[in-house]
Amino acid sequence: MTSRLLVRPLAAAALAAMLIAAPASTFPVAAWAATKAPVVKLKSLADLPTPPYPYDEKADAEADVAAALKRAKKAHKLTLIDFGGNWCGDCRVFAGVIEQPDVKAWVDKHYEVVTVNVGRYDKNMQIPARYGIDKLKGVPSFLVVDGKGKLVNDGAFFALTDARHMTPQSIVDWLAQWPAK
């Protein structure tokens, strides 16, 4: 009886030590757990350098998304599919925020980001439809997809369609909330 009472605490301690010592990549789900966002140095969008034009209008969006999903699965990251257009100020603001050096390193650690040009809602709409979204309610719109191709942010696709009125920190905080399902 005494030996059984000692085995359980020892086994629990051994398991805890193993989990602590193991790299996060050993347990892919840990890589997808909600994580603390970095503190963004940029305090106001007014201080954001001229935002980039992130959407390649000539890109093969199907191939780009497939490649991003494959890279994310291999690296145990989430895929962030960013739908928008270069005409969209909010899309450009988001792209500018995630390109800030203090944010980019964090985003690159947790996500494979792929941009998909939707034109004036008349291009590449089959991609969101594949995930059950028949119509985009604004851009930028985002799908967060796990390594099995499952949508992680179901119902929260359009939160940043007003990114130009948000703080850089709130944009990054939004990205930090996606736990594995």
Domain ranges of the chain: 24-175
Domain 24-175 has CATH 3.40.30.10: yes
Pairing of strands 141-145, 78-84: antiparallel
Distance between CA 95 and CA 65 in Å, rounded? Answer: 17
Residue 117 is predicted with a pLDDT of 98
Residue pLDDT, tens place only, 70-110? 999 999 999 999 999 999 999 999 999 999 999 999 999 99
Instruction: Enumerate residue ranges in the chain where pLDDT < 70.
Output: 1-34, 179-181
Sign (positive/negative) of CA torsion 38, 43, 44, 49?
negative
pTM: 0.80
Distance between CA 36 and CA 38 in Å, rounded? Answer: 6
Residue 178 is predicted with a pLDDT of 82
Pairing of strands 78-84, 111-117: parallel
